[in-house]
Amino acid sequence: MTGMAGLWRKDPDLHGSTVVVTGGARGIGAATATAFANRGARVWIGDIDAAVAETTAQSVPGAHAAALDVTDRDSWTAFLEQVTAESGRPVDILVNNAGVMPVGAFDREADRTTDLILDVNVRGVLNGMRAVVPGMVDRGSGHIVNIASMAGMIPLPGMVTYNAGKFAVLGASLAARREYDGTGVTVCAVLPAAVRTELASGARLGGALPTVDPEDVAAAVVATVRTRAARTSVPGWVAPAWALVDAFVPEAVERLARRLAGDRRALDLDAAARHDYLARIDRQARAHHGEPRS
């Protein structure tokens, strides 16, 4: 999965490269923006929460921020025009990180929530790739990293729509990687396990999935510029281990192991601890669905 030839590439010189990180105002995105900036890259944070993105950019050396709605093609056009005009060069690296994670019982999920998950987590990634790929192909170079999730390989109760979206991101990444093979453009997917960010607020972390920090994911994203790995899980052993489980472990044994590990935690979250995140996501979902914000 990692592609052994890529492991022997030298660390690339990122100084002066233009890097775009979507959803970079918080969590994994903010950590990734910082990691690239520390390597000398010119980093642009695109986020629907422009004010928070600007605050984050002020804490990242040399970073810039601008409003970006990843679900809107026109927003992508305006954002990239600003990036190109102010940086003086096109995008070298795109990190499609923007995502939302409302979870819970599938049969009680509101349509607006389903739409938001799929539009941000899937359409946002497709829009981002479409926005930068033509220019990268013309130049004969470019690198795209799509932040998927181990939920793109491991189905979990309480995450039906989120699972669907992250499976789609992994599939789109692998297909685009093949489609643009030989053009100088590489597409990689990074699949974090449970991450200590606001998205996981109210959850009992550990058990079914190992837990990592945003900085761990950011380091894996930067590493793909060297390895060009098709698929990288964080931690690195999780995807290979799950592939073996999926291929060889009988469902009855897997069911028992899941029960012991507590894989139904997404159905039993701490509502109070998760309130602020869900309230913000609900406002975003209502606006996205054309409903008045409550």
**Annotated active-site positions, please?**
162
CB atoms under 10 Å from CB of 177, counted, come to 19
- 234: which 2 tokens? 């964080």
Q: Which residues contact 116 (CB under 8 A, 6 or more apart)?
A: 100, 102, 281, 284, 285, 288, 289
- 38: which 2 tokens? 């520390």
CB atoms under 10 Å from CB of 240, counted, come to 13
Gap between the Cα atoms of 241 and 250, Å rounded? 15
Gap between the Cα atoms of 126 and 89, Å rounded? 22
Q: Angle CA(178)–CA(168)–CA(96) in degrees, nearest 5? A: 75
DSSP 266: G
Q: Which residues contact 30 (CB under 8 A, 6 or more apart)?
A: 24, 45, 56, 60, 214
Whether 225 and 182 have beta carbons less than 8 Å apart is answered as no
